[in-house]
Amino acid sequence: MSQAELEGQTLPRPRRRKDQEGWWQKHGISLVAVLVFLGLWQLSGLFLNPILLSTPVAVIRDWFQIALNGYLFIGLLEGFREMLIGLFFGVVVGITVGILMGRYQALDRILSPYVNFFNATPLIVIIPLVIIWIGITVNARIFLVFMITLWPMLLNTVSGIKNVPKGYMEVGQAFGFSERELIRKVAIPAAVPYILAGARVAAGLSIIGMIVGEMEISFFGLGMMLSTYGASFQTGHFFAVVLTSSIFGIVNVSILKWIQRRWFPWIAGTAGQNT
């Protein structure tokens, strides 16, 4: 007997809407709109100075140029490495401190003012200070990524732990879990949706941190290319780098979505349900 036959229950069918609507019905209009936009952009090249907007064809051409001569990927790989290190520490510290603050009110009250202060500060302004502390080095860029990603991670984890359904904790208590088991086996898993939401924000910000660091702390990779191409009016190359960073951002978010689907299918399964 298959699961679906038991008591006529329904299993979640995430693909159903897709089957009903079809890819074209769902995305066709977006695709057409993008093509129209690109066409208009290309046409604008006939009337405007290419320094202002360049054209899609020129951007693709320039992208292949910097991709094939290696500039792009050398910079990208190193930038990616730094971004990952910064993000890693942001995530680990954010989750750890977030769990403690979420669970222990005293700690929350002690640390909250600082957390809110840093979260409210646009962290680009600390760059001169970072340079004074650490110097014009790779570590300074990593530190910038860390400082930018830490706060959303921390704040989301804190709300995740504070918003664990009371009933879940009560079940854990009634069946005899100790305080540590309650945190590890109930509170943390229940906070995962919040933590993943924080990670999505942090992943987006980490790219910003990486590029700003490469523009403002020490010249390197994508940030350097953007500054250089912008300053020398190579608009086609400039857009080629912008395109690359966008793709990078999309990849980041897709990886996180994949992680959620792969390891936390229950988040989609319980969405909108009053458990």
Partner 1 sequence: MLSIRHVSKVFDTKDREVLALHDVNLDIEEGEFISFVGPSGCGKTTLLRIIDGLTEPSEGEVIFNGQVLSGVSREMGFVFQDINLLPWRSVVENVEIGLEARGVEKSERRRQALEALRMVGLEQVADVPPYTLSGGMQQRVGVARALAIRPKVLLMDEPFGHLDNFTRETLQIEVAKLWQQLKTTIIFVTHDVDEAIFLSTRIALFHSNPGRLAKVLEVDLPHPRWEFNVRADERAIAMREYILDYLGVRKDVMV
Closest CA to 75 of 216, 207, 223: 223
Our CB check for partner 1 shows the closer of 6 and 125 to be: 6
We find the least distance from the C-beta atom of residue 55 to partner 1, in angstroms, to be 50
Please count the residues of the chain.
275
Name the residue among 164, 246, 153 with its Cα closest to residue 196. 153
Closer Cβ to partner 1, 1 or 125, answer by number:
1
Rounded CA-CA distance 204/273 in Å is 29
Min dist CB 140 to partner 1, Å, is 39
CB of 228 to partner 1, least distance (A): 48
Residue closer to partner 1 by CB (options 46, 174) is 174
Which residue lies nearer to partner 1 by CB, 78 or 181? 181
> Which residues sit at the interface with partner 1, rule CB under 8 A?
1, 3, 6-12, 165, 167-168, 170-178, 181, 185-186, 189-190, 192, 264-266, 269-270, 273, 275
The answer to whether 144 and 213 are in contact (CB under 8 A) is yes
Cα separation, 121 vs 201, in Å, equals 16
Helices 71-103 and 188-216 meet at what angle, rounded to 10?
140
Contact present, 130 and 141 (Cβ < 8 Å):
no
**Residue 4 phi, psi dihedral angles, 5° rounding:** -65, -20
C-alpha 77/C-alpha 207 separation (Å) is: 13
Closest contact distance (angstroms) between CB of 176 and partner 1 is 4
In the bound state with partner 1, the residue whose beta carbon lies nearer, of 35 and 259, is 259
Please state the closest distance from residue 262 (CB atom) to partner 1, in A.
Answer: 13
